[in-house]
Amino acid sequence: MHKNNRNGFDRFYDVNGWAFVSLALGLIVLFMLYPIASSLWLSLHSGKGLVVKFVGFGNIIRLFHDPVFHTALWNTFIFLIIQVPIMIFLALITATCLNSPDLKWRGFFRTAIFLPCVTSLVAYSILFKSMFAYDGIVNSFFHMVGIIDQPIPWLSDPFWSRVAIIAAITWRWTGYNMIFYLAAMQNIDKSIYEAAKLEGVTPRQCFFNITIPLLKPVILFTSVVSTIGTLQLFDEPMNITAGGPANSTLTLSMYIYNLSFKFVPNFGYAATVSYVIVIFAALLALVQFKFAKERS
Amino acid sequence: MSNKRTFNMLAVTLGMTLSVLPAISHAADKQLTVWAWDPNFNISIMEKAKEIYAKDHPDVKIKVEDFAKPDLEQKMHTVLASGMTDSLPDIVLIEDYNAQKFLTSYPDAFSPMDGVVDYKEFSPYKTQLMTVNGHTYGMPFDSGVTGLYYRRDIIAAAGIKPEELNNITWDRFIELGKQVKAKTGKAMLSDDPSDPNMVRILMQSAGTWYFKPDGSLNIKDNAALKEALRLQKAMVDAGITTPSVGWSGRVSAANKGDVATVTNGVWFIPSIKAAADQAGKWGVAPTPRLNIAGGSNYSNSGGSSWYVLSASPNSKQAIDFLNSTFSKDVGFYQRILTENGAVGTFLKARTGAAYQTPDSFFGGQKIYSDFATWLAKVPEVSYGQYTYEADAVIAALLPSLYQGTPIDDVVTQIDQQLASQIQP
């Protein structure tokens, strides 16, 4: 009798629980799971606009023979491999500086460095485009201080346009990552540093042997988030260089856009390329977790 | 306090939802929506057509909506692919290079107009590019007939007479460019390696395109393409170019007086006139030609046409609107010529008086009469569906051409990359 009652209550509890989450669950199925399944199905098709046919793995085979896809993949990895470490390192340095108790105007610097990441992606991209123009402010400044004689063709040279994009995204996202580190640093027990100081450990050793190991979970988190962000890089190359010159700043996301909206629309193949981003994001996150685990 | 705020938020949300509702339901039965880009040109011209039509059809409301061109194309692709035809306009402007792409990618999305519109009244190249499977869709609109715009004062300072620019070859153009550079220090033209506009103009002037009329690739044996690439590099090597990035870069190079010439479509006139201080300083000569068999001094760049969506409940009305203005009204064409610099592809329009008006901005030259003469001689080519794919491939390879890769190697690479890009 007692047991039955208990079951009845569980049942009542379960049904109500499910009723409460059903709305959210329904929305997740409708707006998350259905599009994912639908895009997977779409990626097995190819054709022009609405005139499509089932090609099975045809799109995946096409990936291996598509030179533009290879270029886009390569560019995305260049951005990833060069930009993410630079940004993480810069963010760590600035966070350490801002965490120093001797620093005056700390609130001001913190805000100033964080501020770029509240600007709109398109707005700052257009600003950077004009700054890096052939007769823009960057060239004028370098010329004025005497670093260069000839203006640098920032946006019309394959090498320099990558530098410009990397500079732009580093400016935009360093402050964002810095805030995570700053928050984590403030949670590190001060006594650890005091003990180290007594033992005669130099500040540099403190940074590499105490701060960085203790920040590891946060560094892992920011590098995974930055990796995914860089894999999806779109706004900056679209607005600053339009993927050029010579496709040198064409990213995977831009290629997806071109396949859908600029070229003869092949939504199936575009969906296949978007799954490449998903797979790489998952793989890279896995590698980073593994790496972090082994080290500890 | 907190409850009150929640209540307020709910009230606001509810209010917003309600205010959106009427916009979703169809307001009037005979409402026509038009999507286009460029407020100074297409939008302004459509507004004029609307005024004319409103006189005889007071019951038809026409709404012209302005978008940036890439945004409009993205919106069209998204809506057409999703099948949500409710959010489509009734009439849309499509660039000629894109016409075949839209017509073949979304079959039945556009209304054929043959049987209503008398296509014999228009330049044949225009109707050809909007014909698929024997049906002609769309209302031919403007031409992109090209000319060599030049700064009278700069070439005079270099010791060149305007007549010396008439019907020249590109090699002669480069020689004159060197003279301009040496005497005035100004560049002859601006160069944007990410935009193969120049390659297209040069190719069409010799009557060829990236594709053959049957749609197959025309790269390897395309003498005009090779010659265009050779000249493109020769201009950079001669030091007569100044780098520019994108559309705004090209316009500002002209407006700031950095370049002595611009080669572009007739629709570039409003951009040149944007620099009011340069009034009287400009002139137009025929486009230089390629020194190969079939080379001519006439070419085309861009141009677009109006299309009616078949999902529109008022598609008949929309076709009637376009037909009674753009394919009948010579006076309308005179007006958009003088006010917007639009050279239509409606053949009768060229007989009007406006085409004979001298333009004081161009030193009193009868520029529209010149453009109309050249328009009749532009070699016809078939743009096919993949012009943007070809452009992207050429833009990707131009820097390596500039760095000294032999032209034949570049052409082979173009051929291979394009072949892999356009597989269905």
Residue B26: band (very low, low, confident or very high) from pLDDT cuts 50, 70, 90: very low
Whether B111 and B313 have beta carbons less than 8 Å apart is answered as no
- For residue B77, count CB atoms less than 10 angstroms from its CB and return exposed for 0-12, middle for 13-18, buried for 19 or more: buried
ipTM value, please give it: 0.76
Contact B101 A264 (CB under 8 A): yes
Residues B136 and B26 both lie in one domain: yes
Contact A134 B245 (CB under 8 A): yes
Spell out which residues of chain B touch residue A66, defining contact as CB-CB under 8 Å. 420-421
Spell out which residues of chain B touch residue A256, defining contact as CB-CB under 8 Å. none
Find, in chain B, the residue whose alpha carbon is nearest to that of A269. B424
Mean pLDDT within B8-35: 57
Q: How far apart are the CA of B301 and the nearest CA of chain A, in angstroms?
A: 18
What residues does A261 pair with on adjacent strands?
none
Whether B365 and B359 have beta carbons less than 8 Å apart is answered as yes
Cα distance between residue B220 and residue B233, in whole Å:
18
Q: Which of residues 223-242 of A touch B (CB under 8 A)?
A: 241-242
For chains A and B, what is the number of CB pairs under 8 angstroms? 100
- Interchain contact B399–A (C-beta under 8 A): yes
Cα distance between residue A63 and residue B253, in whole Å:
40
Spell out which residues of chain A touch residue B385, defining contact as CB-CB under 8 Å. 48, 264
- Interchain contact A48–B (C-beta under 8 A): yes
- How many CB atoms neighbour CB B380 within 10 A? 15
Cα distance between residue B102 and residue B124, in whole Å:
20
- How many CB atoms neighbour CB B242 within 10 A? 17
- Interchain contact B236–A (C-beta under 8 A): no
The percentage of chain B sitting over the pLDDT mark of 90, rounded to a whole number, equals 60
- Interchain contact B140–A (C-beta under 8 A): no
pLDDT at A295: 59
Contact A50 B388 (CB under 8 A): no
Contact B399 A267 (CB under 8 A): no
Contact A67 B395 (CB under 8 A): no
Q: Which of A46, A67, A245 sits opposite B194 (nearest CB)?
A: A245
- Interchain contact A51–B (C-beta under 8 A): yes
Give the residue, B15 or A287, on which the prediction is more confident. A287
- Interchain contact B386–A (C-beta under 8 A): yes
Mean pLDDT within B157-167: 94
- Examine residue B16 and state whether it is found in any structural domain, yes or no: yes
Contact A50 B397 (CB under 8 A): no
Strand locations in A192-285, DSSP E?
A: none
Tokens of B346: 């409606």
**Average pLDDT of chain B, as a whole number:** 88
Q: Is the pLDDT of residue B20 over 50?
A: no
- For residue A156, count CB atoms less than 10 angstroms from its CB and return exposed for 0-12, middle for 13-18, buried for 19 or more: buried
Q: Which of B105, B107, B245 sits opposite A264 (nearest CB)?
A: B105
- Examine residue B119 and state whether it is found in any structural domain, yes or no: yes
Distances, alpha carbon B199 to alpha carbons A10, B97, B245, in Å: 75, 14, 16
- DSSP string computed for A88-153: HHHHHHHHHHHH-TT-SSHHHHHHHHHGGGGS-HHHHHHHHHHHTSTTSHHHHHHHHTTS-SSPP-
Mean pLDDT (10-residue bins), chain A, 296 residues: 64 86 93 93 89 88 89 92 92 88 84 89 90 86 85 84 92 92 88 87 86 88 89 90 85 92 90 92 87 68
Helix (H) or strand (E) holding B384: none
Contact B101 A258 (CB under 8 A): no
First-last CA distance in chain B: 61
Q: How far apart are the CA of B383 and the nearest CA of chain A, in angstroms?
A: 13
- For residue B116, count CB atoms less than 10 angstroms from its CB and return exposed for 0-12, middle for 13-18, buried for 19 or more: middle
Q: How far apart are the CA of B239 and the nearest CA of chain A, in angstroms?
A: 15
Distances, alpha carbon A273 to alpha carbons A4, A42, A230, A270, B109, in Å: 55, 11, 15, 5, 27
Contact B399 A68 (CB under 8 A): no
- Interchain contact A245–B (C-beta under 8 A): yes
Spell out which residues of chain B touch residue A134, defining contact as CB-CB under 8 Å. 243-245
Contact A262 B388 (CB under 8 A): yes
- Examine residue B360 and state whether it is found in any structural domain, yes or no: no
- Examine residue B288 and state whether it is found in any structural domain, yes or no: yes
Q: How far apart are the CA of A281 and the nearest CA of chain B, in angstroms?
A: 26
Distances, alpha carbon B392 to alpha carbons A248, B232, B249, B389, B397, in Å: 12, 16, 19, 5, 9
Residues B152 and B292 both lie in one domain: yes
Residues B97 and B179 both lie in one domain: no
pLDDT at A207: 85
Residues B94 and B159 both lie in one domain: no
Helix (H, G, I), strand (E, B) or coil at B148: strand
Residue showing tokens 């099948």 = B83
- Interchain contact A261–B (C-beta under 8 A): yes
- Examine residue B357 and state whether it is found in any structural domain, yes or no: no
- Examine residue B334 and state whether it is found in any structural domain, yes or no: no
Q: How many domains does chain B fold into? A: 2
Mean pLDDT within B366-375: 91
Give pLDDT tens digits for B208-219: 999 998 889 999
Q: Which of A68, A134, A155 sits opposite B421 (nearest CB)?
A: A68
Whether A247 and B56 have beta carbons less than 8 Å apart is answered as no
**pTM of the predicted protein model:** 0.81
Cα distance between residue B249 and residue B392, in whole Å:
19
Which one of A259, A263, A267 makes the best mutation probe of the B interface by having the most chain B beta carbons within 10 Å? Answer: A263
Tokens of B300: 């085309």
Distances, alpha carbon B248 to alpha carbons A292, B94, B244, in Å: 48, 21, 9
Find, in chain A, the residue whose alpha carbon is nearest to that of B390. A263
Residues B408 and B280 both lie in one domain: yes
Whether A226 and A176 have beta carbons less than 8 Å apart is answered as no
- For residue A249, count CB atoms less than 10 angstroms from its CB and return exposed for 0-12, middle for 13-18, buried for 19 or more: buried
pLDDT at B8: 54
Tokens of A286: 């896995």
Find, in chain B, the residue whose alpha carbon is nearest to that of A267. B81
Cα distance between residue B247 and residue B287, in whole Å:
20
Cα distance between residue B355 and residue B151, in whole Å:
22
Q: How far apart are the CA of B88 and the nearest CA of chain A, in angstroms?
A: 16
Contact A262 B392 (CB under 8 A): yes
Q: Is the pLDDT of residue B351 over 70?
A: yes
Question: φ, ψ for residue B82 (rounded to 5)?
Answer: -80, -20
Q: Which of residues 153-192 of A touch B (CB under 8 A)?
A: 153, 155-158
Contact A68 B396 (CB under 8 A): yes
pLDDT at A110: 87
CA-closest candidate to residue B298, choices B126, B145, B170: B145
Mean pLDDT within B405-410: 94
**Domain range for B242:** 146-301+374-421
- Examine residue B351 and state whether it is found in any structural domain, yes or no: no
The string over A216-226, giving b where at least 16 C-beta atoms fall within 10 Å of a residue's C-beta and e elsewhere, is: eebbbbbbbbb
Would you list the domain boundaries of chain A? 2-42, 60-295
The domain that contains B390 carries what CATH number? Answer: 3.40.190.10
Give pLDDT tens digits for B298-342: 999 989 999 999 999 999 999 999 999 999 888 899 989 888 888
Residues B16 and B33 both lie in one domain: yes
What is the dotted CATH code of the domain comprising A60-295? 1.10.3720.10
Q: Which of B244, B395, B424 sits opposite A48 (nearest CB)?
A: B424
Residues B276 and B389 both lie in one domain: yes
Spell out which residues of chain B touch residue A262, defining contact as CB-CB under 8 Å. 70, 73, 388, 392
- Examine residue B350 and state whether it is found in any structural domain, yes or no: no
Give pLDDT tens digits for B119-153: 988 988 888 889 998 999 999 999 999 999 999 99
Helix (H) or strand (E) holding B321: helix B315-326
pLDDT at A296: 54
Residue showing tokens 């130099």 = A202
Residues B224 and B292 both lie in one domain: yes
Q: How far apart are the CA of A157 and the nearest CA of chain B, in angstroms?
A: 8
Spell out which residues of chain B touch residue A242, defining contact as CB-CB under 8 Å. 194, 246
Whether B209 and B378 have beta carbons less than 8 Å apart is answered as no
Spell out which residues of chain A touch residue B104, defining contact as CB-CB under 8 Å. 48-49, 51
